[in-house]
Structure 1
Amino acid sequence: MKTYKSIITFLLFTCLVAVPPLALKYSGLESWLVPGFWGMFFFVAGLTFIVLLFILTIQAKNTEMYAPAFLGATTFKLLACLIFLLVFIKTRHPEKVFFVVDFMYLYLLNTVFEIYGLLRNLRNQNSK
């Protein structure tokens, strides 16, 4: 999968992930979203985008560095999200259950997309 194709796929994925929270907002169940949800949404999506581009760039330049780059980028993403969580919780004091559900929804879906996209890209490269 080419880089531009990965970017377009990521943008479509991000739009699809935004649909359920928008549906909650306009159906009157906005209380299920923590205050600052959209900031959290754009942070996790932006971080996933940066990690995806970084790994694709490394893969294009040096295929032997793919695995270390993937592990390093995943570690960076996890640590950045943990720091973001700490700051978010200390400044906003969100409702615990809704916060965990909202964050896990964002983090897990973005991580699954990242892994799927990168494995798909690696599989295309191996079949050549």
Structure 2
Amino acid sequence: MTADKKSITALIIDDDQMVADMLGQILQDAGLNTIITFDGKSAIKLYLDKKPDIIFSDFLMPEINGVMVLKAIKALNAKIPIVLFTGYYNQLMDELKGEIVKPDRILRKPFIQVEKIHDLIREFFPGYEIDA
């Protein structure tokens, strides 16, 4: 199945605007549409309103962290790919212990390797051709 570029939308969640914008630019350069938000609460609302195809979420955020976002959205749609990213890998692994719902992938910050992100897009959307 070939994915239509116009139909792929990524929701990006990070309380650090610079990181969110950087990831958004990488995904836009690859031909994806992006929606950016800076907190977990608005992310869940945006998911319900916009129905993105993939979600990239920071782990550590105030109030509703990435694991909480993961559980809330996977409860609504178990098949949506969710990628958590973090500079606190060990803390994320500790929080995920015993959880039934897990992220589809984990990226470590800083994710300067654009090709890793492109590989994730190709993995989740077979046949998708990256513009970059």
TM-score of the aligned structures, taking structure 2 as reference length: 0.29
The structure richer in strand per residue is 2
Which structure features the higher share of helix residues?
1
TM-score, length-scaled by structure 1: 0.30
> Radius of gyration: which is bigger?
1
